[in-house]
Amino acid sequence: MNDDKLTIWCNNDFTSDQTVQRDLLVKGVGDHQLLMFEPDQDGRNGQSRLALEAAEIAFGYPDAQAVVDCKKIRWVHLNAAGYTSFDRDEIKKALTTRRVMLTNSSAVYDEPCAQHLLAMIMSLARGLPIALDEQRGARSWQMSVMRPSLRLLNGQTVLLLGFGSIARRLVELLQPLEMDLIAVRRKVSGAEPVRVVTVASVDEFLPVADHVVNILPANEETYKFLNAHRLGSLKHGAFVYNIGRGATLDQDALINELHSGRIAAAYLDVTDPEPLPPEHPLWTTPGCYITPHTGGGHDREKERQVKHFLDNLHRFEDGEPLVNRVL
């Protein structure tokens, strides 16, 4: 084991009632020096910048350019699954050149996000949001209207945009329902447990999908990936889900399709912007159901964040491969 003492910069967010999780981190780093800051102190200036310049490891969500500028950093562990600010060519090139490792917290969020998607897929198929609207609204007994519109998921086609850890776990949850699962990713390894097609052929498969599940990260290549043309190519009655990033979906085009009634419904856990302003038309668009970026949330979220970092810290100390490595 490497006995060198390291300086660890941290701006992971701990609320006032998360002292147990905070103490878990403090105890877990052992003799290493831990420099802690608030989430908004991201290493761009002030004391957090001076500390980042002295650190070998960063845990939380530091500013990407600040990481590039701080030459001692050897490893950054993000407390989120997303890494949008680091997913830029100039940032990746600079970090790769210096052999700075970047890991994220996908292992913390794959299970809750996959369960969140499963809940929405099943609830929309069985009309639960519609029934809830009636209960809170007119309280009319819509049995004769609803029963013929409900769906069995068996045999329906799910098109997964992205095939990272969330999609792989969702596949495991959906397979018992005998659905036809197709995933889209940039590079096909051939070892995937479902049929996988390349991004270049996505337009061939959108018209056959009953459910389009968007788990894409936000970057220059994915901006409004689900644009007006692609949304317009979906079959009548398709469902759309977005748990990736709001910027990957053309929301104006989605609103138009929902108003037309051609897309049956949409579930959004992410929007652009966030928080979504109360006056935004998505809130009142028929068939649009929104959760406030809670897909990855769970009662052990902060504990699992810390344990995931500490597990990787031990791997870093021992020179072992890191989990959820991005760069």
Q: Which domains does the chain have, with CATH numbers?
A: 7-104+299-318 (3.40.50.720), 109-290 (3.40.50.720)
DSSP alpha helix (H) spans, 152-250: 165-174, 202-205, 228-232
Q: Give dist(CA 50, CA 44) in Å, integer.
A: 9
Task: Give the model's pLDDT for residue 150.
Answer: 97
Q: Give dist(CA 317, CA 126) in Å, integer.
A: 50
Determine the Cα angle at 241 with ends 305 and 257, to 5°: 150
Three-state SS at 166: helix
DSSP state of 235: P
Has residue 1 got a pLDDT over 60? no
Reported pTM: 0.94
Q: Give dist(CA 18, CA 5) in Å, integer.
A: 26
Q: What would the pLDDT profile of 282-314 be if each residue is shown by its tens digit?
A: 999 999 999 999 999 999 999 999 999 999 999
Q: What would the pLDDT profile of 77-125 be if each residue is shown by its tens digit?
A: 999 999 999 999 999 999 999 999 999 999 999 999 999 999 999 999 9
Average pLDDT of 230-257? 98
Radius of gyration of the chain (CA): 22
Q: Phi/psi at 70 (nearest 5 deg)?
A: -95, 105
DSSP state of 10: E
Q: Give dist(CA 193, CA 268) in Å, integer.
A: 26
Mean pLDDT of the chain: 96
Amino acid at site 141: W
Percent of the residues in the chain that have a pLDDT greater than 70, as a whole number: 99
Q: Please give the biggest Cα pair distance in the chain.
A: 71
Confidence of residue 4 (pLDDT cuts 50, 70, 90): confident
Three-state SS at 61: coil
Q: Give dist(CA 118, CA 12) in Å, integer.
A: 29
Percent of the residues in the chain that have a pLDDT greater than 90, as a whole number: 97
Token duo for residue 181: 């699962």
First to last CA, the chain: 23
Q: What would the pLDDT profile of 176-220 be if each residue is shown by its tens digit?
A: 999 999 999 988 988 999 999 999 999 999 999 999 999 999 999
206 and 234 Cβ atoms separated by less than 8 Å: yes
Average pLDDT of 27-36? 98
